[in-house]
Each structure stands twice: as C-alpha cells, then as structure tokens.
Structure 1
C-alpha cells in the first residue's frame, strides 16, 4: 500500500498542469461561468450564504439539472468577490462531509460549478484544495469525526468519477488517494463497531464505483481485492462483515453485476447476522 507521504504528494500535484474545464454545463447556461460586473453597493437583492447553502442541500439526483441551474444562479448573485466564492466553497464542502449520502449529489453539483470563477478564484480549485488538505491530515479527520471521514471518502471518489478536464480525462491526481482511502477503510483495526462502519461504507462505495475504479487502475484494484480477501480470512472479521465482503468479491468476479437471486441470497444471509 502506498505511504501517506507518497499519496499526499500525488494529491498535491493536482494543482499543476493544463486542462481544468468540464464537459457538461447545465442547460440554459452558456459561455464561461464568470461573475459579471455588479454594483457591490447594491445588497438588497443579493442572496445570503445561508440561502445558497439551503438550496444546495435541497438538490437531488432526480432534479440535478434544474437544481444545479438554480444553485449556480444563486452563487453568481452572492459571489461578488473571490472571498465570497471561497466562503461558498467552504460551506458547500462542510455540508458534503457532514452527510456522506449527500456526496453523490454534491459531486454532480461541483462538476457543474467547476468553472465558476470570480477574481481569479475558481470553484473547482477551491474544492480540490480543501480535499487535498483533508487527505493530508485524514488521520485527524477520522479521529475527530467518523461521519466526516466517510463523507470525505464518498465525495473524493464521486468527484473522481464525474469531474473531467477539458480534454475529457479524469483528474488522475485523485486516483491514488481514492485507493488509499478505500484501503484504509477496509483494513481498519480500531474499535469493532467503528471498523465495521468503515467496512460497510467501503463496500457501498465499491458496489457503486468498483467497475469504474478497476477500469482506471487495474493494478490498484487487484491490490484492494487482495486486501479484501485477507479481511475475509481475518479471524477478527465478524460473520456480518464476511457476508458483506463475500458479496462484493463475487460481484467483482462477475464483472460488477449480480443476478437478482444472488442478491436475494446475500440479503437474507446478511439479515441473519
């Protein structure tokens, strides 16, 4: 497994290079997502940060295009300066980490807001910088808040899956940190309940993005699957944990898909534990 220092350097590298755009812009929005010149003194119709945050939290995958358009318009209205956009990015990031289930929606919103820029501050770069900082100190994040640690892993991997450069490539600097984070979830040896919570989360993420991750880095996925098999054989792994891992292992062996009867078998088996 890669060392923390190596992983940190990889993620830190993400700020260099070309090709920082995205391919998808919500329907109805044309041209670069830059804040137009406004009268800073006119505060009457300006959105508040709380209003922008609440609207972000209401977004769903079912209505993501409409939600993203409304959120971007509100962010345009609020972000008069680069500092304002930094506040939006920080608030958005905190909300995302506080709720790991929101990470999927948050990544889609971030993709659509990626090129929004005010006074040289670009939304994508602000978010990536926050991710970089938390990855470097992920041991502290995990110790202080298991919920935020799980939210971080979800958001990191979902961003890797949906965010693209102008040339259509993934952000490769996020790839190694994603595998490092998943491995740490899988191999946790802390308190039994916390370790099981991390294991559950790892399985859930891999069920959703395992095929994508394998396509991006076969060697790293093979290492992760070896760690998974070792975890199954570990005497410290509960019967419940083994069932989760066995289902995931079979899923990966079958090309990341299971028939309904196999799913039902594992569901009944896991329920008994």
Structure 2
C-alpha cells in the first residue's frame, strides 16, 4: 500500500474545515484566503515540532501552485509577514515555553530552506535565522539539551547555504559554540558531544566522514 503524500498526512491533523482549506490552497490557492492559510500553518507549527519540520514543504507546494496558477507570490508574502510578527516576540516565546521556541526556530529554518527567490535564499530571512541560531548559542540555551539539539539539527539542514549568505556571522556563531565549552557551568555531556560534532561538520566543509559519523552517533546512541 502506498504511503500518503507528506502534505496529505500532515493535513489530517486538522479538523475537516481546515483540511478542506489547505487542500484547496495546495491545488487552487487563488480561491482561498492565503493569510488564513499562513496563520493555520504557523499556529500548528508553534505547537507541533513534527509538523514544523514539514511546514516548509507545504508552503513550498502552495507557492508553486500559486505561481503556476497566477504567476504571483502572495502566499510567500503572507508567510513572511506572519514570521516577522512572531519573530519580534521570540524572547517572550522562549520564556513562556522552550518547546514553542524550538518549534518557532524550526519553522523559520524550514521556510528558509524551502522558499527561494530565483533559486536563491530569501534575504529577508537571513538575519532572523541567524538571530535565532545566535540565541540558541547563548550560555543559558547551551544548558538546555532541547535547544542544543535544535541548533545542531538546523545547522545540519541549512548551515552550508546560510554560510554562503554571511561567512562573518557564521564565524561569530561558531565562536559562541566553542566558547560554550569554557563556561564554568558546562553543557551536558550529550550537548557537548553534539556541539563537537557540528563544529567538526563545518570544519569538514559541511560534510562528515563515515568514521566521524559512526563515532558521534554511536556515542549518542550509548
């Protein structure tokens, strides 16, 4: 039996009316309220980490459908507007719920990964993405394994393309990661292992040798 498409599977999380709204957005985006669609996707992403990892794919599908149907990109603008609104509140989000904060970072990075302009990253998202990752690299965040895991996952996913937009900011980010090992209150053993792995990952040209991968992930499993 064939597996359902990722978008269809995730849409099943919603009630019938929202499912119908999203299905229409994926097929005929000009026929629905795209601001509402963007809000639905964002709000689900803020409370469901699994969904936030796939939301960029859904957004990409809607953007492609809209471009094919009308040649416009209104949905991309709606997504960016919503992200900008919530990004201003990122510290309040983190203070209220680390899980919601991790979901927000994951969603922003996922959208950055999927939504391009002329096959190039959207420059409007570069600084917000860097700001999120820099926040995850601060001493208090490095004490939280959930935040460290999020940071490392995002760097594996978008680190190379993000590095191309600003080598200096990436250098600054990795200086923070290296400094994290010198803190009086060091990160946990697992967090330090993950940070070492991502430092080596970047040093290797955003690639990991088979031996290094076996070493790090066998340690994580143990």
Structure 2: gaps of 5 or more residues: 1-14
2:190 is matched with 240
Q: TM-score, structure 2 length as denominator?
A: 0.79
2:204 is matched with 254
1:114 is matched with 63
Q: Return the alpha-carbon distance in structure 2 between the equivalents of residues 121 and 262 of structure 1.
A: 42
Change beyond 3 A, Cα 1:248–1:108 = same
| 1:97 Cα deviation after fit | 2.2
May I ask how many residue pairs the two structures share in their alignment? 203
| 1:191 Cα deviation after fit | 9.7
Structure 1: gaps of 5 or more residues: 1-46, 57-69
Instruction: Answer 1 or 2: which has greater helix percent.
Output: 2
Q: TM-score, structure 1 length as denominator?
A: 0.66
| 1:101 Cα deviation after fit | 3.0
**Root mean square deviation, CA, Å:** 2.8
The C-alpha deviation readout for 1:131-176, integer Å capped at 9, x for no partner, is: 00111111111122322211211121222222222x4432112101
Instruction: Determine which structure has more spread, i.e. the larger CA radius of gyration.
Output: 1
1:99 and 2:51 aligned = no
Q: Is the 8 A contact 2:57 2:114 kept in 1?
A: yes
Change beyond 3 A, Cα 1:214–1:50 = same
The C-alpha deviation readout for 1:213-251, integer Å capped at 9, x for no partner, is: 112211111001101101122232222211111111111
Q: Is the 8 A contact 1:52 1:75 kept in 2?
A: no
Moved over 4 A (4+): 74-77
1:268 and 2:218 aligned = yes
Q: Which of 142, 153, 159 is matched with 2:94 structurally?
A: 142
| 1:107 Cα deviation after fit | 0.9
Q: Which of 110, 114, 126 is matched with 1:175 structurally?
A: 126
Change beyond 3 A, Cα 1:270–1:96 = same
